[in-house]
C-alpha cells in the first residue's frame, strides 16, 4: 500500500449489498486509493457515486481484478467460485459475501466482534457469514465467553431485502395493490409476502430444514469453533423491508442471570441493549434499519431449562448482516498488515 491507500473493488456493485458496500467504504473512510466497480454485462456502463465522483460499472472478466488489492464480492456463489480464486491468484484479497466458501475449513468465516483471530491464517479468501448468523453470534459471544453454550434454538423473522432489491420492490407493489383493492402479483416468492409470513428461506433439504436454517447451524459452530453446540433454527420471511429479527433461546453450561447478561451485553463491542419492556422499549426493525449495531432486548430467564436465557435480537441485514461486516474485515486486514 502507498500512503494514498488501497486499490479496492466491489463485485456485484449494483445489487443491494454491493451498493451498500460502496456507501460503507465512504462512511467509514476506508483508505481507498482507487475504486473499481464490477457487475454483469447488463449493468456495465452504469455510474455509481463514491464520495465526489461517479465511477462507471465494468463487466467482470477474468482479467478484471489484476492490480486490485482488496475485493469485496457480493454477486452470488457461482460468481464467487469462478472469479474469487482467479482474483486471489493475481494477488488480491477477497472478502466474499456469498455462501460459496463459508464451510471450507481452510477459509476463515469471520465476524470481527467474535473471531477476528481466525483472519491470521487467511490465504487470500475470507468468507462473510450469513446475515442471520452474524447478528446472533455478535449477541451471544459475550454470554458464551462467561457461561458457555450447550444449545441454541432460534426463530428468525427476516426482511425481504435479504432476498435482494427485486423482493423489496415486490413487497412494495403488493402493499400498493392491496390498498387499491387490486390483485397482488408475485414473482420472487412462491406466495404473497405482503401481510404474510413464509417459513421458507432457501431450498428445503432432505432433513426437513431449509438451506438458510442449516447455514445458521453450521456457521455458528464454525465461528464459535465448537461443533458440540446444538443448534435448531427456523427461518421465516416476513413483510419487513430492512432489519432481521430473531427470537433466541440459549441453554448455558453455567448459570447466568438476565441482569448479568444485560450488563455483559451493555459492554460488548457492536451491541446496543434496548430492554425496558415496562416502557415498551425493545428492539424493532425500524430501530435497526440504517444502523450498524446489533440490538438486544427482552432478555429473560428461559423457564424451560435450568440454565437458560431467552432474548430478542435485531440488526440491519444489509449493513451489519452483509456490507458493514465485510468492510470491518477489510479494516482489520489493513490495521494488522495482513494484505
For residue 95, the SS3 value is: strand
Residues 270-320: pLDDT tens digits? 999 999 999 999 999 999 999 999 999 999 999 999 999 999 999 999 999
Q: ∠95-103-138 over CA atoms, to 5°?
A: 65
Residues 7-45: pLDDT tens digits? 999 999 999 999 999 999 999 999 999 999 999 999 999
Across residues 218-240, what is the average pLDDT?
Answer: 98
Asked whether the beta carbons of 4 and 30 are under 8 A apart, the reply is no
Domain with CATH 3.40.50.720 in the chain: 6-128+322-335
pLDDT of residue 272: 98
pLDDT of residue 4: 84
Asked whether the beta carbons of 15 and 164 are under 8 A apart, the reply is yes
Is the pLDDT at 1 greater than 60? The verdict is: no
Give the residue from 192, 216, 212, 184 showing the smallest Cα distance to 200: 212
Asked whether the beta carbons of 127 and 229 are under 8 A apart, the reply is no
Domain with CATH 3.30.360.10 in the chain: 133-317
Tell me the C-alpha to C-alpha distance, in Å, between residue 269 and each of 106, 126, 304. Answer: 27, 21, 29
Residues 61-99: pLDDT tens digits? 999 999 999 999 999 999 999 999 999 999 999 999 999
Residues 116-163: pLDDT tens digits? 999 998 999 999 999 999 999 999 999 999 999 999 999 999 999 999
pLDDT of residue 9: 98
Q: 152 has which bridge partners?
A: 231, 250
pLDDT of residue 3: 61
CATH architecture assignment, domain 6-128+322-335: 3-Layer(aba) Sandwich (3.40)
Distance CA 237, CA 192 (A): 11
Report, as residue numbers or ranges, the catalytic residues. 131, 244
Distance CA 73, CA 65 (A): 11
Is the pLDDT at 212 greater than 90? The verdict is: yes
pLDDT of residue 227: 97
DSSP class of residue 35?
E
- Name residues whose C-beta falls within 8 Å of residue 81's C-beta, 6 or more positions apart in sequence: 100
Give the residue from 163, 107, 102, 105 showing the smallest Cα distance to 133: 102
Q: What is the mean pLDDT of the chain?
A: 97
Asked whether the beta carbons of 104 and 40 are under 8 A apart, the reply is no
Distance CA 196, CA 72 (A): 34
Distance CA 65, CA 284 (A): 40
Inter-helix orientation angle 131-147/211-224, to 10°: 40
For residue 218, the SS3 value is: helix
**One CATH from 3.90.1200.10, 2.60.40.1930, 3.30.360.10, 1.10.10.10 for 133-317:** 3.30.360.10
pLDDT of residue 68: 97
Asked whether the beta carbons of 162 and 216 are under 8 A apart, the reply is no
Amino acid at each position: 500500500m502507498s500512503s494514498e491507500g488501497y486499490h479496492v473493488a466491489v463485485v456485484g456493485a449494483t445489487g443491494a449489498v454491493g451498493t451498500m458496500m460502496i456507501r460503507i467504504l465512504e462512511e467509514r473512510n476506508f483508505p481507498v486509493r482507487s475504486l473499481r466497480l464490477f457487475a454483469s454485462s447488463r449493468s456495465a456502463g452504469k455510474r455509481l457515486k463514491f464520495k465526489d465522483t461517479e465511477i462507471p460499472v465494468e463487466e467482470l472478466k477474468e482479467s478484471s481484478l489484476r492490480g486490485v488489492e482488496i475485493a469485496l464480492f457480493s454477486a452470488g456463489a457461482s460468481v464467487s467460485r469462478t472469479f474469487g480464486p482467479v482474483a486471489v491468484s493475481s494477488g488480491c484479497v477477497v472478502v466474499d459475501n456469498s455462501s460459496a466458501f463459508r464451510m471450507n475449513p481452510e477459509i476463515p468465516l469471520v465476524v470481527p466482534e467474535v473471531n477476528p483471530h481466525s483472519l491470521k491464517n487467511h490465504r487470500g479468501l475470507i468468507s462473510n457469514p450469513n446475515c442471520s448468523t452474524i447478528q446472533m453470534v455478535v449477541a451471544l459471544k459475550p454470554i458464551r465467553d462467561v457461561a458457555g453454550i450447550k444449545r441454541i434454538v432460534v426463530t428468525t423473522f427476516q426482511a425481504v431485502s435479504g432476498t435482494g432489491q427485486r423482493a423489496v420492490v415486490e413487497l412494495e407493489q403488493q402493499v400498493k395493490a392491496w390498498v387499491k383493492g387490486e390483485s397482488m402479483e408475485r414473482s420472487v416468492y412462491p406466495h404473497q409476502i405482503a401481510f404474510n409470513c413464509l417459513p421458507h428461506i432457501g431450498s428445503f433439504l432432505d432433513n426437513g430444514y431449509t438451506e438458510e436454517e442449516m447455514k445458521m447451524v453450521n456457521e455458528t459452530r464454525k465461528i464459535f469453533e465448537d461443533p458440540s453446540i446444538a443448534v435448531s433454527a427456523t427461518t421465516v420471511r416476513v413483510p419487513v423491508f430492512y432489519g432481521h429479527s430473531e427470537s433466541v433461546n440459549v441453554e448455558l453450561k453455567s448459570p447466568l442471570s438476565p441482569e448479568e447478561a444485560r450488563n455483559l451485553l451493555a459492554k460488548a463491542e457492536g451491541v446496543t441493549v434496548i430492554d425496558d419492556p415496562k416502557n415498551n422499549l425493545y428492539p424493532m426493525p425500524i430501530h435497526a434499519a440504517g444502523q450498524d449495531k446489533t440490538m438486544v432486548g427482552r432478555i429473560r430467564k428461559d423457564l424451560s431449562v435450568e440454565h437458560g436465557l431467552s432474548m430478542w435480537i435485531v440488526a440491519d441485514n444489509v449493513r451489519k448482516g452483509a456490507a458493514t461486516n465485510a468492510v470491518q474485515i477489510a479494516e482489520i486486514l489493513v490495521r494488522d498488515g495482513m494484505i
